[in-house]
Amino acid sequence: MARVHNFSAGPAALPLPVLKEIQQELLDYHGTGMSVMEMSHRSQAYAAIIEDAEATLRRLMNIPDSYRVLFLQGGATLQFAGIPLNLMRRGKAGYIVTGHFAKLAWQEACHYGEAPVLATSEDTGFDRIPDLSGVRAQADGLDYVYICQNNTIFGTMFHDLPDTGETPLVADVSSCFLSMPIDVSRYGLIYAGAQKNAGIAGVTVVIVRDDLVGDGPAQACCPTYMSYRRQADAGSMMNTPNTFGIYVCGKVFRWVEQQGGLEAMGRMNHEKAQTLYDLLDRSQVFKPFAEPASRSIANVTFRCTSPELDTTFIEGARSRGLEGVKAHRLTGGMRASIYNAVSLESVQALAAYMEEFEAAHRSL
């Protein structure tokens, strides 16, 4: 069976060369006579895998030596609690709420201290990044300011980071991780669930500045397992980590490096996104969801002129091998997640179907 064009939001497409390499190594990893899934996480062979994954990621992102890289479990959702438990030392952090996951993170933080909402676009249905001009004045005295940099469900992203002064910026970058260059030094902490753009489900990458890790968690009630300090000291191996997931991440990091790094990824992802946005902007059948100035390069969200046409479009897409285009229930309509592993050819195949659909339904 031929592989489909996979636009799923996560778990998402993986690079084909990575899948083939994993397939070749699945039964016998580098002459060990066993799979990575079978080997001890304390073995010399596995130590080389996790060390190489971290070293490759540090090169890719130019991560300063003053930051720790952690490979954790529990999904990005666990960090909604892990961040305030570790960083909310004065009991107050600010949240910019731009979508479903940012709102969930804010609600979780409210269990551990004060969490004022500094800005939100909820009043417009999360179709944009809100005005951030007042954030700097509100950031003073806070433990951190939190954002979700790319909103997978609504298809928006921060193209400019908020000015938080001396207050650390914390960002969920799950769906834009490795999709373009970022300056790690502008953040106190960034984290990403791997299943969107960096690997398979079950691994969360946390990159956190050393001074924020400190001597231990901010709050005494923090479970030992969720302590960044303890995880950093243990090299992400307080217990058995997601060994296979970290192995896959390392393969993806290498693949991104081989494609030319984050500069090359950024150029490619902008080209893919622009292909779809140009079509949407001239369409009479499709309506883009996100405001132009806030559009994501990772998740392109749109609707037809009626829910019935949405259903027809989704069914037609699936019959053409275009999978994962049905949007989240909170927005309805369609979404194309065009992560690094989604080729320009796949995006062009989707665009061709959209043009065909437009021609067939423009007069209806």
pLDDT, one tens digit per residue, over 160-195 is: 999 999 999 999 999 999 999 999 999 999 999 999
- Based on the fold, state whether residues 232 and 276 are members of the same structural domain: no
Domain boundary (258, 281, 306) is at 258
The answer to whether residues 254 and 265 belong to one domain is no
* Rounded Cα distance, 171 and 149, in Å: 6
Per-residue pLDDT, 322: 98
* pLDDT band of 1, cuts 50, 70, 90: low
Residues 58-92 pLDDT 10s = 999 999 999 999 999 999 999 999 999 999 999 99
pLDDT digits (tens, 9 = 90+) for 14-62: 999 999 999 999 999 999 999 999 999 999 999 999 999 999 999 999 9
Whether 199 and 97 map to the same domain: the answer is yes
Q: Decide which of 258, 293, 318 is a domain's last residue.
A: 258
Evaluate whether residue 215 is within a structural domain.
yes
Q: Which two tokens stand for residue 52?
A: 């190489």
Per residue in 110-143, pLDDT (tens digit) is 999 999 999 999 999 999 999 999 999 999 999 9
What's the average model confidence in pLDDT over 98-116?
98
Q: How many domains does the chain have?
A: 2
CATH number (domain holding residue 327): 3.90.1150.10
Give the whole-angstrom CA distance, residue 192 versus residue 57.
13
Q: Indicate the pLDDT class of residue 362, thresholds 50, 70 and 90.
A: confident
Do the bridges between strand 145-148 and strand 94-97 make them parallel or antiparallel, or are there none, so unpaired?
parallel
> For all residues of the chain together, what is the average pLDDT?
97
The whole domain housing 332 covers 261-361
Q: What is the pLDDT of residue 364?
A: 55
Q: For tokens 């303890």, what's the residue? A: 230
Are 207 and 230 contained in the same domain?
yes
Per residue in 253-278, pLDDT tens?
A: 999 999 999 999 999 999 999 999 99
Spatial separation of the C-alpha atoms in residues 166 and 101, rounded to whole Å: 25
Is the Cβ–Cβ distance between 252 and 14 less than 8 Å?
A: yes
Q: Same structural domain for residues 195 and 275? A: no
CATH code assigned at 27: 3.40.640.10
Q: What is the pTM of this model?
A: 0.97
CA 191-68-17 angle, 5° bins: 60
